[in-house]
């Protein structure tokens, strides 16, 4: 007999508690608990078949059979296409373009003579048709079903045996065997487990869409991350046109790859040279703007950091950071105060990464510092300069990996000077671009203008 149990579950991370809590102890989010009824099976039966462990050398490698989506950005993020029998989760804010991207790739998959089943719990058939028309999708391999009942959706997959399945979205499906409301943690988990079983059993790749929600009654995709094979997140400003697709987990490839897209009136367009786009709306030699080169997965990416330092009107100076860690900005400003004697205490500072992307790589430190100095001194940074380096608490400029790759990218885009950590350029030879090694921030300040 299954035993009934009432629990409170965090909608963000799935943490369970016997009583309601205001703040989740696991993910530190506020007001995310909701009550759910669980039916727990008592005890498990022992497995009938006892497997013998294998030696490492006895295990043969399965060659992953992948379906290419012919969308270069998406294929790269996936590690070369969707692996057959894998479960892929695409998360992101509502309206960011998840449904658009998945509908777009059906055209290329259809051309490979593979049948696609699109299960939608959000939009009606005519809405999907309207969107498909807009995206110029003409494939006859795409079948659409609007269904929110999990058991029926699973039955349809078993019956039609498609080669590729899209579930849009996991939060709209509900199972009759689970008593809690659609979108709750138990419902979303049950639905994911069902699709996991289907994908492994029949070798069908299934892509599920999960909405990220700030608060409210639906569970976020984070509670599913451990169940699926690949987790991708769509980032970017909904009002801006650039979108970044990022790998968070990939059992069949590397993580930290990114794919860059632009939302146009005919859907998402791949951007194969993001550096160019990121810098396209930039004016040369403006005050408070510095360029850096980051590595995202395997690709170098040039981005612009902007800083605005103005005198404070109220007692407390304000600091703001967009696209980079707020604490990093505070810390770097403290280093500048101490090491360069800059009196930043009387100034507000706003630091921004253009292009609507978020970066956590330490290589950006030097560019943040340069942009702040430029705005503080009200002088533009020397033309065509790139800053690469991490800044430590004592003001030292620390080692950065893959320095040559970054310098090459800067050269390709017409930059003339690279300011890099001294420790990273021991055996660096580059004749095309001027490489300026610096040891600490006070050495760098002489090189900025
Ligand atoms: P959508 O894929 O519906 O988002 P999600 O599934 O992640 O919730 O994206 C919807 C947004 O994209 C919507 O605001 C309109 C815009 N859009 C375009 O700009 N061009 C297009 O061709 C399409 C189909 C959508
Ligand atoms: Mg959608």
Residues with CB under 5 A from ligand 2 (ion): 99
Is the distance from CB of 23 to CB of 30 less than 8 angstroms?
yes
Q: Give the least confident one: 54-63, 103-112, 241-250.
A: 54-63
Q: What is the pLDDT of residues 1-21, one digit of tens each?
A: 566 778 888 888 888 888 999
Q: What is the pLDDT of residues 83-138, one digit of tens each?
A: 989 999 999 888 889 999 999 999 999 999 999 999 999 899 999 999 999 999 99
The pLDDT of residue 39: 65
Nearest ligand atom owner, CA of 122: 2
Residue 25 in this model has a pLDDT that exceeds 80: yes
Q: Is the shortest distance between the CB of 100 and ligand 1 below 6 Å?
A: yes
CA–centroid distance, 263 to ligand 1, in Å, is 8
Average pLDDT of the segment spanning 294-300:
83
Q: Is the shortest distance between the CB of 246 and ligand 1 below 6 Å?
A: no
Q: Give the least confident one: 59-73, 134-148, 184-198, 381-395.
A: 59-73
With both helix axes pointing from N to C terminus, report the angle between 365-377 and 441-448 in degrees, rounded to the nearest 10.
Answer: 60
**Whose CA is closest to atom 14 on ligand 1?**
95
63 against 290, higher pLDDT: 290
46 against 324, higher pLDDT: 324
Q: Is the shortest distance between the CB of 299 and ligand 1 below 6 Å?
A: no
Q: Is the shortest distance between the CB of 238 and ligand 1 below 6 Å?
A: no
Task: Please give the full DSSP string across 317-369, using - where no structure is assigned.
Answer: PPEEEESS-HHHHHHHHHHHHHHH---GGGEEEEEEETTS-----GGGHHHHH
Is the distance from CB of 421 to CB of 396 less than 8 angstroms?
no
Q: Is the shortest distance between the CB of 94 and ligand 1 below 6 Å?
A: yes
44 against 447, higher pLDDT: 447
Q: Maximum CA pair distance of the chain?
A: 76
Peptide bond into 266 cis (omega under 30): no
Atom number in ligand 1 closest to CA 101:
2
Q: Is the shortest distance between the CB of 263 and ligand 1 below 6 Å?
A: yes
Q: CB neighbours of 408 closer than 8 A, spacing ≥ 6?
A: 300
278 against 421, higher pLDDT: 421
Model confidence band, residue 291 (pLDDT cutoffs 50, 70, 90): very high
**Whose CA is closest to atom 22 on ligand 1?**
267
The pLDDT of residue 281: 75
The pLDDT of residue 93: 86
Q: What is the pLDDT of residues 305-335, one digit of tens each?
A: 999 999 998 888 999 999 899 999 999 999 9
Q: Give the least confident one: 55-59, 162-166, 390-394, 400-404.
A: 55-59
Q: What is the pLDDT of residues 146-189, one digit of tens each?
A: 999 999 999 999 999 999 999 998 999 999 888 888 888 889 99
pTM: 0.78
CA–centroid distance, 266 to ligand 1, in Å, is 10
Is the distance from CB of 237 to CB of 229 less than 8 angstroms?
no
Q: What is the pLDDT of residues 249-271, one digit of tens each?
A: 999 888 778 888 998 888 899 98
Nearest ligand atom owner, CA of 92: 1
Residue 44 in this model has a pLDDT that exceeds 60: no
Model confidence band, residue 438 (pLDDT cutoffs 50, 70, 90): very high
Atom number in ligand 1 closest to CA 234:
7
């Amino acid at each position: 007999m299954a035993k009934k149990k009432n629990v409170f579950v965090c909608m963000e991370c799935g943490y369970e508690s016997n009583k309601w809590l205001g703040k989740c102890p696991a993910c530190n989010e506020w007001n995310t608990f909701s009550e759910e009824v669980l039916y727990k099976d008592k005890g498990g039966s022992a497995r009938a078949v006892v497997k013998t462990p294998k030696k490492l050398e006895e295990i043969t490698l399965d060659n992953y059979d992948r379906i290419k989506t012919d969308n270069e950005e998406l294929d790269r993020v996936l590690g070369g296409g969707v692996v057959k029998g894998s479960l892929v989760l695409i998360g992101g804010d509502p309206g960011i373009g998840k449904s658009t991207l998945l509908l777009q790739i059906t055209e290329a998959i259809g051309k490979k003579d593979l049948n696609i089943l699109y299960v939608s719990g959000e939009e009606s058939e005519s809405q999907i048709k309207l969107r498909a028309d807009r995206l110029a999708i003409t494939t006859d391999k795409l079948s659409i079903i609007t269904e929110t009942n999990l058991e029926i959706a699973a039955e349809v997959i078993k019956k039609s045996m498609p080669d590729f399945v899209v579930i849009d979205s996991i939060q709209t499906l509900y199972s009759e065997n689970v008593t809690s409301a659609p979108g709750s943690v138990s419902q979303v988990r049950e639905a994911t487990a069902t699709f996991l079983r289907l994908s492994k059993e029949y070798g069908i790749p299934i892509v599920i869409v999960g909405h990220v929600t700030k608060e409210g009654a639906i569970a976020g995709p984070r509670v599913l991350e451990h169940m699926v094979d690949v987790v991708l997140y769509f980032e970017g400003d909904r009002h801006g046109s650039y979108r970044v697709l990022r790998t968070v987990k990939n059992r069949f490839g590397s993580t930290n790859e990114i794919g860059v897209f632009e939302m146009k009136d005919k859907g998402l367009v791949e951007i194969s040279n993001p550096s160019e786009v990121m810098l396209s709306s930039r004016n040369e030699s403006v005050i408070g703007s510095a360029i850096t080169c980051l590595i995202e997965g395997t690709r170098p990416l040039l981005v612009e950091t902007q800083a605005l330092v103005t005198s404070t009107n109220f007692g407390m100076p304000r600091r703001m950071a967009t696209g980079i860690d707020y604490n990093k900005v505070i810390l770097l400003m403290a280093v500048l105060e101490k090491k360069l004697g800059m009196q930043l205490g009387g100034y507000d500072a706003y630091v921004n990464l253009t292009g609507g992307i978020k970066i956590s790589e330490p290589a950006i430190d030097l560019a943040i510092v340069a942009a702040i100095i430029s705005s503080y001194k009200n002088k533009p940074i020397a033309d065509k300069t790139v800053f690469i380096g991490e800044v430590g608490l004592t003001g030292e400029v620390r080692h950065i990996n893959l320095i040559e790759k970054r310098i090459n990218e800067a050269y390709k885009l017409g930059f003339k000077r690279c300011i890099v950590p001294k420790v990273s350029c021991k055996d660096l030879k580059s004749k095309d671009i001027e490489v300026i090694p610096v040891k600490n921030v006070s050495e760098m300040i002489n090189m900025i203008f």
